[in-house]
């Protein structure tokens, strides 16, 4: 499995008329490019973010770029589980279907503190929030099947570790360490979910997008480090519209119909972690995640 940068294998002419796609972290960067790509294919696209001004700007950008007027901007704050629940309630009430969910949101350099939900901030934004969103949206995805979930991870997962007793402990890991742990959790959650929803018509995948031309390190407090890392990304990173093709390819191309639960990079299956083979760990990650995001009996489709 070699690293490829030309993305020539990601090309697909699949159209999405009548389909509904949801992209988180879609007000800028790769998320915005993913939303544009989906809109270009004719889908109704829901973009999710917490800043109303940025959401409005992103919506206008997508419409202007693609000519597709069927773009919805919907507010959600991944620092708040109640915000995610409200977002899901609104989405399920308004949308007749959901065919594609792309969990693109991700951040590094956030404060090492607990949120109001008693979860470490980086872990909540990068993992627990997406877990909750996906769990709550599964029923509508199942009702719309065949449908797909794409969890955007990172190569940093290879440096991650999962200690279920301490993965939310403030001060336990470095900022980068929390990021690595959250991206490993994304992959373990993908593997375990595939086992639990197999046969439902919903497929779930994880992927490593590589480094794109963005200001991904914008949350770093150290100005010199922030500027240096962002400058390196902008110079050496992959063009974002090309990076976006990978997530879209997994979300729409028929060739991946039998590949649910697998991890990808550059549109090919790719190694993630030996931990994906640890069935006890993946099961415990799933159970503990449900506990920490407080899945209620009414919300739990596994009952």
Catalytic residues: 179
- Among 272, 235, 215, 236, residue whose Cα is nearest residue 30: 215
Encoded tokens for 268: 């090919």
Whole-number Å distance between alpha carbons of 230 and 108 = 12
First-to-last C-alpha distance (Å) of the chain: 40
Task: Specify the DSSP class assigned to residue 257.
Answer: T
The answer to whether residues 48 and 72 touch, using CB atoms and an 8 Å cutoff, is: no
Distance CA 143, CA 284 (A): 27
Cβ neighbours of residue 210 under 8 Å, at least 6 residues apart? 5, 155, 237, 238, 243, 265, 266
Instruction: Using DSSP bridges, classify how beta strands 263-265 and 268-269 pair: parallel, antiparallel or unpaired.
Output: antiparallel
Residues 6+ apart with CB under 8 A from 129: 78, 79, 81, 84, 105
């Amino acid at each position: 499995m070699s690293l490829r940068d030309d993305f020539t294998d990601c090309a697909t002419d699949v159209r999405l008329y009548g389909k509904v796609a949801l992209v988180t972290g879609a007000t800028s960067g790769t998320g915005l490019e993913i939303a544009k790509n989906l809109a270009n294919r004719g889908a109704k696209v829901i973009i999710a973010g917490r800043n109303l001004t940025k959401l409005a700007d992103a919506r206008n950008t997508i419409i202007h770029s693609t000519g597709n007027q069927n773009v919805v901007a919907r507010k959600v704050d991944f620092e708040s589980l109640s915000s995610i629940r409200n977002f899901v309630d609104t989405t399920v009430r308004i949308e007749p279907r959901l065919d594609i969910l792309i969990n693109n949101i991700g951040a590094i350099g956030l404060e090492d503190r607990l949120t109001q939900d008693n979860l470490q901030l980086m872990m909540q934004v990068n993992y627990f929030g997406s877990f909750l969103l996906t769990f709550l949206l599964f029923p509508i995805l199942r009702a719309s099947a065949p449908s797909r979930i794409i969890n955007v991870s990172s190569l940093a997962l290879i440096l991650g570790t999962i200690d279920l007793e301490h993965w939310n402990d403030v001060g336990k890991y470095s900022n980068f360490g929390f990021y690595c742990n959250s991206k490993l959790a994304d992959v373990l959650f993908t593997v375990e979910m595939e086992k639990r929803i197999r046969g439902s018509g919903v497929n779930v995948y994880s992927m490593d997008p590589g480094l794109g031309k963005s200001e991904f390190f914008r949350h770093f407090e150290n100005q010199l480090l922030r500027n240096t890392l962002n400058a390196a990304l902008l110079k050496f990173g992959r063009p974002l519209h090309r990076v976006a093709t990978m997530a879209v390819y997994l979300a729409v191309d028929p060739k991946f119909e039998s590949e649910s639960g697998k991890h990808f990079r550059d549109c090919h299956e790719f190694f993630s972690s030996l931990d994906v083979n640890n069935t006890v760990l993946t099961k415990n990650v799933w159970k503990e995640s449900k506990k920490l995001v407080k899945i209620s009996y009414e919300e739990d489709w596994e009952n």
